[in-house]
Amino acid sequence: APQRRVPAHPELPDNIKQQAAMNTSGYMIKLFGGETRSFALHHFENNVFESEIEALRKMLLELPGRWMDGKIFLESFKLILAQVHTDDDTLMDIHRLRLAFARLERDVKKAHIEGGKLFETCEPCSVTIKILSDPSKEETVIFKQESLDFSDYVKESISSAAFLFRDEISEKASEKYDARNHNTFFTNVNDALKATLVHRVEILMNYVHSQLPTSDPTFSAEIKNFELSLKDKLDVLQQCARLCLRSCRECTRLCSKEYDHKDDCACGTDHSCPDTCLLCPSGQSPIPCCLKFGHEEQHRCDTGHVCGKPCTILPECKSTCGLPIDHDSDASREHIHDCGNLHYCPY
């Protein structure tokens, strides 16, 4: 008899050996004599087995990738045929269970990406995010799992699923994206994505558990291993579908690309500071700061302002520095601020 991975009814090996020895079953010789052929099924062409074999055939055709290779498939198929022939259901049950595993995994993976009917009776996911204009305050947004479809976002990379939540947050939050609130916005996107996917996996695993014979201790180990393996596969999307959120190469805004991008980090903005120049006269219209977002210097425009810091030529000088505004940008050395006027010795 072929080596079995799951214990069968104790009579099965004896039945197979006995029938093979007595040469009463031509199909047994074909199966276990190394000459397995497709017409082995002809042995069962009677009213008792026709419907069961046809149902089994359909299940096999629906799951072309269930076996790792042809050898494993052949051994599995031998056991199924022998099981039907000897009218012993033990191995048939484990095969049916494994076929159910494959069907559930296919359905759950599809629902994980596309949403849909599996989530229709589930509670929506509530996520707390920060208000863009005042990150010290929070608001709650609601996501309906059945309507969250990642399909169009993951065609090139599964990590691009994060961009679905970029669009969803833009639609559901009370305030729209503004470059001034870039970091808070994309932190919200990442947090919402993580919370929603955790919720989605929990729902799917509860569904899987409800579809399996968990009350039967015979297959408890098989079921537990399947559930653990499936959850690991579902968690891959959660781990991959997130944003980079490292610092942009050009400014201090967060990188808005997918987490596994290979090129330089970029925020997707023009990197400019959103504030206005503090050196322009108060009476004129404000001019935007010409520096990059996150700079530590005083906000200034590019209209030719001079330094403006107190002159350091003499302690008594009350004038301000007339040198170019960025003359002291090199922090590694000491700078002299010069108003440009003549300075006389006070002694």
Q: Which of 266, 177, 278 is nearest to 290 (CA)?
A: 278
Higher-confidence residue: 274 or 76? 274
Closest CA to 90 of 213, 6, 196, 17: 6
* Banded pLDDT at 201 (limits 50, 70, 90): very high
pLDDT-derived band at 182, boundaries 50, 70, 90: very high
Q: Is 315 left (phi over 0), alpha (psi -120 to 50) or beta?
A: alpha
Name the pLDDT band for 206 (thresholds 50, 70, 90): very high
With a cut of 60, say whether residue 64 has pLDDT above it.
no
DSSP 161-199: GHHHHHHHHHHHSSS---GGGHHHHHHHHHHHHHHHHHH
Residues 227 and 193: beta-carbon distance below 8 Å = no
Residues in Cβ contact with 121 at an 8 Å cutoff, skipping those fewer than 6 apart: none
Residue 131: phi and psi, rounded to 5, are: -75, 130
pLDDT digits (tens, 9 = 90+) for 67-108: 555 665 666 666 666 666 666 555 557 767 777 888 888 899
User: Could you give the CA distance from residue 271 to residue 251 in angstroms, rounded to a whole number?
Assistant: 6
Spatial distance between the Cα atoms of 80 and 70, rounded to a whole number of angstroms: 15
Q: Which tokens hold the place of 304? A: 């030719």
Task: Give which of 114, 86, 95, 115 is closest to 13, Cα–Cα.
Answer: 86
What confidence score (pLDDT) does residue 137 get? 93
pLDDT number for residue 14: 55
List the chain domain ranges.
11-88, 119-240, 273-305, 307-347
Segment 290-308 mean pLDDT? 78
